[in-house]
């Protein structure tokens, strides 16, 4: 049995994995789903949040594990797991990108996100006056963008837990090398009905950064809510 570390995406927290954690645990796995700084129950102030602070959070978890882990990142979590792999390649068995940003060295997430013409996020994104954080300006759009095939109860609970998303991490270019990040095995799980990270962008990222495994799910951006059993089965396989 293995260890899974699950890294949430923008506006979310470790709570988004609440359906996945018990399914993996029931198969004998150890599962850790941290709140990144400023998310979930972590109250780090936005001015103190950076991509490095996200990565430090994950590295601390990896450093106390006795075996290499499967490190999964959802959406914005993709940039976190990539940069973590650069620092701790020996602690990672496999990187799994779940409809996540898979960037090349020197790229920042905001570059790709704002160019995603098939995504509903760019036209619905608004930044604070000081540009330190960003939100979806029309909350009624959140359902369609993120939770298109999810149950109403899950949507309501998720939206009640949303927090503003710090801007600094997505503006930071990744620093990746073939010798560290490049030697860690990668898998990508595409979400074919995604309106947040479009299938078009997912394909483009995977063409630029090929993965050893490519899997597709016929879901929206949040299969951890809509298809938890299917997602858990893919991960255990």
pLDDT tens by residue, 181-228: 999 999 999 999 999 999 999 999 999 999 999 999 999 999 999 999
Reported as a single tens digit per residue, the pLDDT across 151-170 is: 999 999 999 999 999 999 99
11 band by pLDDT with thresholds 50, 70 and 90: very high
Q: Which residues touch 113 (CB under 8 Å, ≥6 apart)?
A: 101, 119, 121, 122, 170, 197
Please name the helix (run of DSSP H) or strand (run of DSSP E) that holds residue 54, with its range, or none: helix 51-63
**pLDDT for position 92:** 98
d(CA 35, CA 201): 26
d(CA 129, CA 152): 33
What do you get for the CA distance between the two ends of the chain, in Å?
11
How does residue 125 score in pLDDT terms, banded at 50, 70 and 90? very high
Predicted local distance difference test score (pLDDT) of residue 128: 97
The CA-atom distances, in angstroms, between 119 and each of 139, 170, 184, 195, 221 are 16, 17, 29, 5, 11
Exposed/middle/buried for residue 207 (C-beta within 10 Å: 0-12, 13-18, 19+): exposed
CA distances from 16 to 41, 58, 62, 100, 138 (A): 13, 17, 20, 15, 21
Domains of the chain listed by start with CATH number: 3-236 (3.40.50.1820)
Whether the per-residue pLDDT at 1 is higher than 90: the answer is no
Does the pLDDT value for residue 237 go beyond 90?
no
9 three-class SS: coil
pLDDT digits (tens, 9 = 90+) for 19-72: 999 999 999 999 999 999 999 999 999 999 999 999 999 999 999 999 999 999
């Amino acid at each position: 049995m293995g260890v899974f570390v699950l890294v949430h995406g923008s506006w979310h927290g470790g709570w988004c994995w609440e359906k996945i954690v018990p399914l993996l645990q029931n198969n004998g796995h150890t599962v850790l789903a941290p709140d990144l700084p400023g998310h979930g129950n972590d109250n780090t102030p936005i001015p103190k949040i950076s991509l490095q602070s996200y990565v430090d959070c994950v590295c601390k978890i990896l450093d106390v594990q006795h075996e290499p882990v499967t490190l999964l990142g959802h959406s914005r979590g993709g940039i976190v797991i990539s940069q973590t792999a650069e620092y701790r390649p020996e602690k990672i068995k496999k990187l799994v990108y779940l409809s996540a940003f898979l960037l090349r060295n020197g790229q920042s997430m905001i570059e790709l996100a704002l160019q995603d013409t098939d995504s509903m996020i760019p036209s619905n994104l608004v930044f604070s006056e000081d540009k330190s954080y960003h939100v979806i300006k029309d909350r009624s759009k959140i359902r369609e963008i993120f939770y298109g095939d999810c149950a109403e109860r899950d949507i309501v609970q998720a939206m009640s837990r949303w927090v503003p998303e710090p801007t600094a991490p997505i503006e930071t270019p990744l620093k990746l090398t073939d010798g560290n990040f490049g030697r860690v095995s990668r898998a990508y799980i595409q979400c074919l009905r995604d309106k947040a990270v479009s299938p078009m962008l997912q394909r483009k990222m995977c063409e630029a950064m090929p993965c050893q495994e490519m899997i597709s799910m016929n879901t929206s951006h949040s299969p951890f809510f809509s298809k938890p059993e299917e997602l858990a089965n893919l991960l255990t396989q």
